[in-house]
Structure 1
């Protein structure tokens, strides 16, 4: 073999080896890249990995990220669906004053806090049902009033109404009597309200729901007024009017019961102003008037309530208010005369359940 031929064969062999080496390197390079891509597919993305690490280190992060919405706790909310509430309440009057006339006979009740804590003397309670959709509201409110006084009461009799020798007395007689006076009144309100004002007083652009928030809703409806009065008189003592030659005081047995039961249906107007201070606190002022001297010579009932509500949860709130309540009624003459002037003021405690 010639040297030239041998050298050429060696050169070809070296070239082939070099090509094989380059090919092997390329194959190794491609294999490494393939393995790298395959391994990367099993790894979490950096953002996901970072979030998983954050949630593992701070579990509260996962909870807050899962639901960052805050339920609306405010009492005054606007919704496209009907919302309902039930509010049972008890009214604890600090003072009860009543002048009642039954069948022309008049007696009075004047109770302070010490008497009122005895629920046999005074008891007031009610329940309020409301339905709200957008700005429209429907109201059903029932309120029960009970007041009673017994013992040695001052009773005024009209002329010639006392029994026996007292029938000859031609003027009204104020006597001291062993008597009992009880008053029962039930009010049932059926009304519709409309929120003509429902606006945020703060910067509404700063937050989706900002405070304070003002609501004004007048209402119009009917009130069913159920009145029951009973005056029981046993014996009366006449201390200042001489009758014949009898010495004073004169004791006359009466032993009579005088009763009045009357039910009227009357127009009712009212209004409520509410101010949401926060998600949980609301203050409001509510009042109403009914009667307007219809169905009697005098017939007027009014209520005024100012207080605050605290939202315990989206479905429950509690209320503490101060309430003023008045009723003026008078009809008839002589022995058919009926009258009641009632005044109460005190604390109203209630709980409202929303659904």
Structure 2
């Protein structure tokens, strides 16, 4: 952590989309943006030796647009919400990732909370719509391969290329609310998706780093299918004396979940900015 006859038509269209899909949410960001410091190793591709524990905290902002199809309260609508509309109607957004690592092993928890609302007037009706969304991912990873690239980073660690398979679960909860002429209606839905994937770390120079990850999940256990991917370019520096990676990139999350009259077949995508601070 953007008005005229066209503006009125745009707001009305957006209001109808929010009523039908209750779908302004998740202006936010990326599971596992916190892998900063490679574990020391003396031999390329060799098993990693044990080292001290490290903890990395990564606050971030994911400015996500939404595209797809949704149904809430039995009303089906096409969802097409640019991130500027989400940010305009944002009441509160909290996003961050916490990673714990020791040697080749690590675990992370990524959380996002977004609350958006809008008050619109269509004809003589005053309509209030809103959406609260929760997105929590937790997983483990293991560095199966690491190759030194020569030289050290500004943090004194070897420059490396590293590959880390990962597995975990992603919990999603959506709560939509509609207020029309004193009548309040709300509906909630939640599901849990297991996922498997991989993470890649590449030290481009002593300061610049490229982090990429992707995972596939759902498998019918929660959603029919979930796809998540991101690429982040990072710059090493210090912040109040702590090793810090300032990051910027792009993330895509696709979810296809259906249960009765509820449907969420939506792709969220957009830029990410943030920082990862190692303690």
- Please report the TM-score for the alignment, with normalisation by the length of structure 1: 0.56
Instruction: Verify the 8 A CA contact 2:38 2:157 in the aligned structure 1.
Output: no
- Contact persistence 1:99–1:106 (CA under 8 A): yes
> After the TM superposition, which residues 48-87 of structure 1 pair with which residues of structure 2 at under 5 Å, given as runs?
75-78=37-40, 80-87=51-58
RMSD: 3.0
Q: How many equivalent pairs are there?
A: 227
Q: Structure 2 matches for 1:105-144, cutoff 5 A?
A: 105-118=75-88, 120-121=89-90, 125-144=94-113
Structure with a larger share of its residues in helix = 1
Larger Rg: 1
Equivalence map 1:266-345=2 (5 Å)? 266-295=193-222, 298-313=223-238, 315-332=243-260, 337-345=261-269
**Distance in 1 (alpha carbons) for counterparts of 2:117 and 2:225:** 22
Could you state the TM-score of these two structures normalised by the residue count of structure 2?
A: 0.69
Structure 2 segments unaligned to the other structure (5+ residues): 1-35, 41-49
Displacement over 6 Å in runs of 4+: none
- Residues 151-191 of structure 1 show CA distances to partners (whole Å, capped at 9, x for unaligned) of 478xxxxxxxxxxxxxxxxxxxxxxx975543332122221
> 1: distance between equivalents of 2:157 and 2:73?
59
Task: Tell me how far apart the structure 2 counterparts of residues 121 and 99 of structure 1 sit (CA, whole Å).
Answer: 21
Query: Is the CA contact 1:92–1:123 (under 8 Å) kept in the aligned structure 2?
Result: no
Deviation at 1:319, TM superposition (A): 0.9
Q: For 2:140, which of 176, 186, 192 is the aligned residue?
A: 192
Q: Is the Cα–Cα contact under 8 Å of residues 116 and 122 in structure 1 kept in the other structure?
A: no
Structure (1/2) with the larger strand percentage? 2
Give 1:86 deviation, angstroms.
0.6
Match of 1:91 in 2: 62
Q: Which has the higher contact order (CA 8 A, sep 6+)?
A: 2
Q: Tell me which of 120, 145, 162 is aligned to 1:215.
A: 162
Q: Indicate conservation of the 8 Å contact 1:301/1:326, yes or no.
A: yes
